[in-house]
Amino acid sequence: MNMNIMDMMDRTQKGFERRLRTFQIVAMALLIVLVGRLWQLQVMRGDYFKSRSTANRIAVVPVSAPRGLMVDRNGEVLVTSRMAHTVSAMPQEFQDRQSEVELLSRLLGMTSEEIEAKIEGQTQGKYGVPYQPARLLEDAPAEIVMRISEHRVDLPGVIIEEEPYRSYPHGMLAGAIIGYVGQISQDELKQLGDRGYRGRDRIGKTGLEREFEEYLRGQDGITQIEVDSLSRPRGTVGFTEPVGGATLVLTIDARVQRAAEEALRSQLASLAAGKYKNARAGAAVAIDPRTGEILALASEPGYDPGWFVPKISEENWRRVSTGVSALFNRAVSGAYPPGSTFKPFTAMAALESGQVSLDERFLCTPSVSSRYFGKKCSAWSSGRTHGNQNLAQGMANSCNVVFYELGRRLTADQMAAMAKAFGLSYPTGLRYTPPESTGAVPDSATREFMPGERLSYAIGQQVTVTPLQMAAAYGGIAMRGSICTPHLVRQVVTPEGSVVAESEPELARSADLSKKTWDFLHASLTEVTRTGTAAWAFSGFPIPTAGKTGTAQSPPGDSHAWFAGWAPASDPEIVVAVLIEQGGGGGTAAAPVARAIMEAYFGSKLAGAEQSGGQAADEDSFPLD
Amino acid sequence: MLIERRLLKNLDFALLGAVVLAILFGCAMIYSATRWNVRLTSDNPFLYVKKQVVAAAMGAVASVVVLAIDYRYLARFANLVYIGGLALLASVFVLGTPSKGAMSWIRIGPIAIQPSEYAKIAVVIGLAAYLVQQDDLSTPRSLIVPAVLALLPMGLVIAENDLGSALVLAPVFFAMMYAAGADPKLLGLIIGVGLFVIAPFSYFFLLKEHQRMRILVFFNPGLDPRGFGWNVTQSVIAIGSGGFAGKGFGQSTQARLNFLPEHHTDFIFSVIAEELGFLGAIAALALLFFIVRRCYGVAQSARDRFGSLVAVGIATIMLVHIFVNVGMTMNVSPCTGIPLPFFSAGGSSLIATMLGVALLQSIHMRRKKIVF
């Protein structure tokens, strides 16, 4: 019994000790579980988690590169940058978001919803940069900057950034060439997202700003910042300096450009004040025909690219986009019937095909009208006739009867071929955005021409051309067949001064005509400004000029006024094409603008020439009779 | 109240040394984890280390008091200790201040006390004192009273909205019942019912939304990586990125940049593993498990069953804390607010743990074989 109790006690004591040992085993088992997991995480997958922790803490913030400048051929700065203040928000740093946004809305004059929308748009989503401040008010006026600074204590997370802004020292000058810059759109991001654009970026929208975006943009730098779990920056880990955009050295001469714009503007004003109420738009192009360098390219009405900095106001947007649009570059994108400025091409086609001789005579009188399907010469309406004249006189007087007769003899294809030989209906090859219009030169492949239509073809009513094409084609006539590709950018130069791209004069096409034809054209077109339809506009202009006026009908509106020509007549340096929409007669409306452009081009040379009494270049004038 | 020299010689010096080492290790890691966080430390990088050292000093003083008392007195006054523990828990409802959604703190001037840390020990004492009086624990009936003894404090802690701390008592209860001789099959059955009937029932009908999320996130941390899954996700990144050798002391980017929350308290182990790597983490675990094993050793060497059962209870509290806390940092156990003994910054946890160890030393000192 005693033994039994002892036995039992011994057994229970043994059981107790055995159970206590179990705990040691359980503890060891749990330790093994933890160590095993530790081994798995740290040793087996350590590299993976290292990269995860790096990705956690390193944020890459782009540093905007300053955009490249634009200067004219003489180094005159057309586009530069200025420092501006931007009120921005770093939402992670807000302490009391709601009350801060409310205070901001009072200081900035925006609604709280607008502010929240701006923050969301720039910091969230695919192209948002969460560590970069969100712009709330760009180019903030000084008094707002002051007010924000005064409330700095109440506005943690609101900062004032300094940013370079596009600046245009000459205002509207060359606006149509330069184009404008704006915040990148969602569509553009989709197209260009792979080139590193971000939701906050600005991008060239039109003109050279867009066409040469890749050069102007520069290369954004990168700041690698360490951020904490709330995306608050804690310090800079790495920095790559941004590379500033390259400078565009334009072929433009600011003086000539200014003259072109001012002459167009004042001409439009005086036309609209007088008989031509609808004369509200026009374009002018001046090219050095020897190289294709564009000296001036104007489109009216114009705009100041500065209106788009940092963002265009509603009022200015209405101003540029409604009615007669200022954003439409008429010199490049506007296609118009050339009217009588087409006549040289008709003459060339007739001469080269032997359909006319230089001493053949034509009678201009209303009685011949029946021969030409009842079509009239423009002189008749004022009770005059051109009488009996040769081809040169017909050109100088822009007599329609002479060219009806040529149109009767020629096929549409012959005239079209000559026009195309000078590049009409083709892009000139100008690098510009949006792409230039090509106009249209129809031939029998396009449609069949009735005999009457061939007559109007001969006087430029069946084709359309852009002012740029007209300037290039007349450059070809001036240079006796060599047509250079027009261009606006001479050089692209990096901020360090190395040239990354350069435009060499490039022969776009050449027209191979007989010397007799060239001589005839040069002489007869010089006569236009001496005694012909542009004589009034060029009276007293000391440099012999060759050119042609045009008055293109565009019913139901008034006629478009044209002038295209070059100077000096015998040694061409500048070719000018001027168009005034619904401006009436080419000689009275367009030619004076061309003269003003040439005056600006020749400048001081002109002053000297006037003193010496002028007109001396008469040697190679062609006998009119 | 002097302690006999003879008894002092019987102290478990290895356990004492390990505890001192763990506290020092913990202080170093608390310094490393908090010194960057200016908002937390108000520009004094030693603020939390200082608090921890003060707590350790208070714990040491309290430990000396505990050593001086023969633990067998506790058995005699066990009812009082147990009721005191319950009262302490209940006092939270009157005096408590809410913190992180739980009402488990009492604030007395600058000192904040978490009663549940101390109450756990009181429950262990109460339970042990009851169990040693029972001859037969093999019948289901015999389990009713101990279960009530455990469930009462658990209910109170759950009412404080601190489910994690409450659940720690469940394994402690089972461990002590098992040690005391309850039928293992019966215990297994209860655990089974708990896991497969009560747990799912609670999940669907009793748990609050955020508690449910924690459990979902445990099974799938990617479910809500920026919300409920954040802590675990970032902790696993921290630990994994430490690699074999670690990023170096003070070089935890996950803690310094605040990706890792609660990095000086609940997630201190992640900082150790990130900065000191696999080697450092193993060292910390080795130290902790060495302490746990010595504590279970006390159970084996105790002169009576009361001492053994108290040792089993306290050692199990520690083991559960360590496993749940470290497991949580590696997504091996769900996310609960359980601190890591000796390492996590926090006075109550440290002092209570030290008191527990002191109680075990007191038991160990007075073991059967006294070496002269």
Residue ranges making up the domain that contains A126: 60-250
Considering only CB atoms, which chain A residues are within 8 Å of B136? none
**Residue of A41, A52, A95, A224 to mutate, interface with B, max B Cβ within 10 Å:** A41
Considering only CB atoms, which chain B residues are within 8 Å of A52? 237, 240-241
Evaluate the CA torsion angle A137, A140, A145, A146 in order and state its sign: negative
CATH assignment at residue A170: 3.90.1310.10
Question: Taking CB atoms and an 8 Å limit, are A229 and B257 in contact across chains?
Answer: yes
For B277: left if phi > 0, alpha if psi spans -120 to 50, otherwise beta; the answer is left
Question: Is A292 within a domain?
Answer: yes
> HEC profile for A355-399?
CCCCCCEEEECHHHHHHHCCCCCHHHHHCCCCEEEEHHHHHHHCC
Residues A173 and A258 in one domain: no
Whether the upstream peptide bond of residue A467 has omega within 30° of 0, thus cis, is no
> HEC profile for chain B?
CCCCHHHHCCCCHHHHHHHHHHHHHHHHHHHHHHCCCHHHHCCCCCHHHHHHHHHHHHHHHHHHHHHHCCHHHHHHCHHHHHHHHHHHHHHHHHHEEEECCEEEEEEECCEEECHHHHHHHHHHHHHHHHHHCCCCCCCCHHHHHHHHHHHHHHHHHHHCCCHHHHHHHHHHHHHHHHHHCCCHHHHHHHHHHHHHHHHHHHHHHCCCHHHHHHHHHHHCHHHCCCCCCHHHHHHHHHHHHHCCCCCCCCCCHHHHCCCCCCCCCCCHHHHHHHHHHHHHHHHHHHHHHHHHHHHHHHHHHCCCHHHHHHHHHHHHHHHHHHHHHHHHHCCCCCCCCCCCCCCCCCHHHHHHHHHHHHHHHHHHHCCCCCCC
Residues A156 and A242 in one domain: yes
Between A34, A50, A227, which is nearest B285 by CB? A34
Domain boundary among A250, A270, A302: A250
Question: Is A140 within a domain?
Answer: yes
Question: Is A283 within a domain?
Answer: yes
* Cα separation, A539 vs B166, whole angstroms: 108
Domain boundary among A193, A219, A250: A250
Residues A204 and A279 in one domain: no
Q: Is the Cβ–Cβ distance between A622 and A520 less than 8 Å?
A: yes
pLDDT tens digits, one per residue of A157-213: 888 877 778 999 999 999 999 999 988 888 888 888 677 787 778 899 999 999 999
Question: Taking CB atoms and an 8 Å limit, are B281 and A42 in contact across chains?
Answer: yes
Question: Taking CB atoms and an 8 Å limit, are B259 and A228 in contact across chains?
Answer: yes
Residues A228 and A343 in one domain: no
Residues A287 and A227 in one domain: no
Residues A230 and A276 in one domain: no
Residues A105 and A205 in one domain: yes
Q: Is the Cβ–Cβ distance between A606 and A543 less than 8 Å?
A: yes
Per-domain residue ranges of chain B: 17-365
Report which of B274, B285, B221, B316 is spatially closest to residue B33, judged by C-alpha positions.
Answer: B274
Domain boundary among A250, A276, A292: A250
Rounded to a whole number, what is the distance in Å from the CA of B320 to chain A's nearest CA? 10
Question: Taking CB atoms and an 8 Å limit, are B292 and A230 in contact across chains?
Answer: no
Residues 6+ away with beta carbon under 8 Å from B213: B224, B227, B228
* Cα separation, A538 vs A454, whole angstroms: 32
Residues A246 and A266 in one domain: no
The ipTM (two decimal places) reads 0.94
Evaluate the CA torsion angle A516, A519, A525, A529 in order and state its sign: negative
Question: Is A531 within a domain?
Answer: yes
Residues A176 and A266 in one domain: no
> In total, how many domains does chain A have?
2
Rounded to a whole number, what is the distance in Å from the CA of A73 to chain B's nearest CA? 54
Instruction: Supply A33's token pair.
Output: 């579980």
Q: Is the Cβ–Cβ distance between A590 and A561 less than 8 Å?
A: yes
Beta bridge partners of A297: A285
**Residue of A8, A13, A20 to mutate, interface with B, max B Cβ within 10 Å:** A20
Considering only CB atoms, which chain A residues are within 8 Å of B259? 53, 56-57, 228-229
Residues A495 and A428 in one domain: yes
**Residue of A23, A40, A44 to mutate, interface with B, max B Cβ within 10 Å:** A23
Q: Does B181 touch chain A (CB under 8 A)?
A: yes
Instruction: Supply B138's token pair.
Output: 């093999």
Question: Is A142 within a domain?
Answer: yes
Tens digits of pLDDT across chain B (372 residues):
556 777 888 899 999 999 999 999 999 999 998 887 777 777 788 889 999 999 999 999 999 999 988 898 888 999 999 999 999 999 888 887 776 666 677 777 667 788 889 999 999 999 999 999 988 888 888 999 999 999 999 999 988 888 888 889 999 999 999 999 888 999 999 999 988 988 888 888 888 887 888 888 788 777 776 677 788 888 999 999 999 999 999 888 888 888 887 888 899 999 999 999 999 999 999 999 999 999 999 999 998 999 999 999 999 999 999 999 999 999 998 888 899 999 999 889 999 999 999 999 999 998 865 444
Residues A269 and A304 in one domain: yes
Phi–psi pair at A549, nearest 5 degrees: -90, 160
CATH assignment at residue A273: 3.40.710.10
Residues A123 and A151 in one domain: yes
Between A15, A26, A57, which is nearest B253 by CB? A57
